[in-house]
Each structure stands twice: as C-alpha cells, then as structure tokens.
C-alpha cells in the first residue's frame, strides 16, 4: 500500500526531481505540495511547483503557497545555483506557461489539515527552508505525534556546508526555523553528509536525455549539476539533494541513527550550522534521527526508475 506524502518544496532543480520521484513512484500517494521561499522567491517557487505538475499532467495535486520570508532574517536566494527564477533557462524552455493557481489554504494550515486527515499514514518531507514546518509546529505542537515520519533535508553533520563552510542552504536560509523543527519535530534529518555523496551517473543521464519529453527535460535538470559534481567531488554524475529524501521514502536508501542536534542561530559565521552531538557531550536525550549512511546504487535506481515511469 502506498504511503501518503506531503512535500514542502522550494523548486529548485533537486526539488523538481524529488517531486517527479513522488509522482512517478507506486510507493507514494502525493496528497499535496506546499511551497516555501528559498532557492528563489515564494512567487517563483509556487509558480515552478504548479508548472512542474502541469508539465506531467498532475494538476490534480493541490499546491498551497507558504512563507514568503524567513522567520527572522532576510531571504538570500540560490538562483545563482538553480538558475533565474529557480530553474535553468533550458529547462524552463520545455515547460508550459503556468495556467493553474494554488489553493486558497495557506501552506501552514494545509500541513495541519492533512495531518488531521491522514494521521500517521502521512509522511511530511520539507526539502527547502524549514519555515512552513516550523510555523505548523508552532500552531499545532502535536504534529509529530499526529503523523508518521517528518523529514528535513538540510544540515552538514560531519561534512562541509554548501552555502558557508558550516551550513547547508536550507538551514542557513532560515536557521531559527530549522532549529524549531529539530527541537519540536522529532525529524529524520537528511544532510549533505549523504545527499552530496550519491549521484546519477552521467551516462545514465545522457541516455535519459535521448528519450522523448518529459524524460529529456528531467535529464536536463540532472545535467545541471554535472559540472559542480565533477569539480567539487571528482565524480562523473549529477546530484539532487532533495531526491535522496525521496529515495528513502520510496526505497529505504538511508541509514539513520538517533542523535541530539542543535542548530546555530547566533547569526555569526557558523549561522545555520548543525551541531551534531556525536559523543553525547551535552548528555541530552536524542531529539532526532540523522542520516549517516546511504545506498548510492539504490538511490540512483530509484531516481531512474521513477523518472522513466513517465515514459511508459
Ligand atoms: O543544500 C541543498 C538544499 O538547498 C536543497 O533543498 C536545494 O533545493 C536547496 O534548497
Ligand atoms: Ca530544495
């Protein structure tokens, strides 16, 4: 039986791949998408989410617009990474003009509504800045007890950050929100320790690019990171951090350990850093689970099988 999933996104290239995996997998019933600012503005992330769903004929999936700014700081987008408006121009050229609109319900209320409707059948995965989820937890503190798993994509436990040496983008973009979700949400934290070390091989991306749309467009999204992966990690492939979360939801690709984690919200050079108490120095009970192991082959298989399902 497929599990119900609510995906909170800031598309964003890897958000798009995560969305396609959710739509393409028989293991998941996507009950809705909530959008948050992050990789680009809330206007763009919302339009991108609507357009991506329209592109694969899934406008049946409701989209609820969410937070337009971080809880405390000013938004610093990642358009320099993902492209103007949050997606590469060569990808946007394949997409239709957006002709749908978000539902009237705000993302925070939609998260709570879906939790009340589906209970512990529902998995929530927040793969952008954690603002919507933090606000939902503030409004409904019982959320973790109401639903199944809550996933956070973010953090750099024992590895280097990608927006500063200490912090990953999602936790840096809204550190107070990330801190609240770690403190209140009993999340499964999926950080760069696993997401930046698994790839879809370039030859598989090139093969996908030879297929008719929408597969060729999906290949373009994966291709966008090949240069960064080659220069930063010396590997010949594409990465999609958010898709690693879906690979666990769909195919148990990750290994988790209980841990006590704090997020640096002091605003200094390590703002947004994940303080992972690996050796129990704080003598605190665990407040989350952290992903420390990943099956790279299972990840790549999940991505490719889910994307290829759109060509069947
Ligand atoms: O650090 C990677 C995360 O930041 C991903 O969610 C990506 O979409 C960006 O939001
Ligand atoms: Ca994202």
Interval between CA 151 and ligand 2 midpoint (Å): 12
User: In the structure, which protein residues have their CB atom closer than 6 angstroms to any atom of ligand 1?
Assistant: 10, 12, 14-15, 38-39, 78, 127-128, 153, 162, 168-170, 241-242
Interval between CA 110 and ligand 2 midpoint (Å): 19
pLDDT at position 308 is 98
For residues 154-176, give the mean pLDDT: 97
Sign of the dihedral defined by the CA atoms of residues 156, 48, 201, 293, in that order: positive
Within 10 A of 311 (CB to CB), how many other CB atoms are there? 14
pLDDT at position 134 is 98
Let me know: does 214 contact 222? Beta carbons within 8 Å.
no
Q: pLDDT digit string (tens) for 110-129?
A: 999 999 999 999 999 999 99
Q: pLDDT digit string (tens) for 179-226?
A: 999 999 999 999 999 999 999 999 999 999 999 999 999 999 999 999
Structure tokens given for 292: 């420390």
Interval between CA 268 and ligand 2 midpoint (Å): 23
Interval between CA 267 and ligand 2 midpoint (Å): 22
Q: 79: domain range?
A: 3-311
Give this prediction's pTM: 0.97
Q: What is each CA distance from 161 to 69, 155, 272, in whole angstroms? A: 22, 8, 10
pLDDT at position 1 is 67
Pocket probe mutation, ligand 1, options 242, 246, 274, max atoms within 8 Å of Cβ? 242
For residues 30-39, give the mean pLDDT: 98
Q: How far apart are alpha carbons 238 and 196 in whole angstroms?
A: 10
Structure tokens given for 85: 């408006």
Pocket probe mutation, ligand 1, options 78, 88, 195, max atoms within 8 Å of Cβ? 78
Q: Name the band, by pLDDT with cuts 50, 70 and 90, for residue 77.
A: very high
Inter-axis angle of helices 131-139 and 175-184, to 10 degrees? 50
Q: Which is it for strands 274-276 and 261-263: parallel, antiparallel or unpaired?
A: antiparallel
CA dihedral 68, 73, 78, 84 (to 10 degrees): 50
Interval between CA 305 and ligand 2 midpoint (Å): 21
Taking alpha carbons only, the member of 197, 184, 268, 264 closest to residue 229 is 197
Per the structure, the count of domains in the chain is 1
CATH number at residue 128: 3.90.245.10
């Amino acid at each position: 039986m497929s599990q119900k999933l609510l995906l909170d996104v800031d598309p964003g290239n890897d958000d798009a791949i995560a969305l396609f995996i959710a739509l393409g997998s028989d293991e998941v019933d996507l009950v809705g998408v909530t959008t948050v600012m992050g990789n680009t503005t809330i206007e763009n992330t919302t339009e991108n989410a609507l357009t991506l769903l329209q592109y694969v004929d899934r406008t049946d999936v409701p989209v609820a617009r969410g937070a337009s700014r971080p809880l405390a700081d000013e938004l610093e987008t990642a358009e320099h990474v993902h492209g103007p408006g949050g997606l590469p121009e060569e990808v946007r050229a394949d997409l239709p003009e957006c002709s749908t609109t978000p539902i009237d319900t705000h993302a925070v209320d939609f998260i709570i509504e879906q939790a009340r409707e589906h209970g512990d059948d529902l998995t929530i995965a927040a793969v952008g800045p954690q603002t919507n989820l933090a606000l939902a937890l503030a409004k409904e503190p019982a959320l973790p007890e109401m639903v199944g798993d809550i996933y956070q994509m973010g953090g750099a436990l024992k590895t280097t950050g990608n927006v500063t040496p200490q912090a990953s983008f999602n936790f840096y973009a809204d550190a107070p929100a990330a801190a609240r979700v770690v403190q209140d949400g009993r999340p499964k934290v999926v950080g760069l320790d696993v997401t930046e070390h698994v790839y879809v091989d370039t030859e598989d991306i090139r093969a996908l690019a030879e297929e008719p749309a929408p597969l060729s467009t999906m290949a373009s999204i994966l291709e966008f990171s090949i240069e960064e992966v080659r220069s930063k990690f010396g590997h010949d492939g594409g990465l999609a951090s958010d898709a690693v979360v879906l690979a666990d939801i769909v195919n148990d690709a990750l290994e988790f350990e209980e841990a006590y984690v704090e997020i640096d919200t002091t605003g200094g050079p390590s703002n947004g850093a994940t303080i992972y108490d690996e050796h129990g120095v704080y003598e605190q009970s665990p407040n989350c689970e952290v992903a420390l192991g990943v099956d790279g082959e299972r990840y790549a298989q999940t991505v490719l099988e889910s994307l290829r399902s759109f060509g069947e």
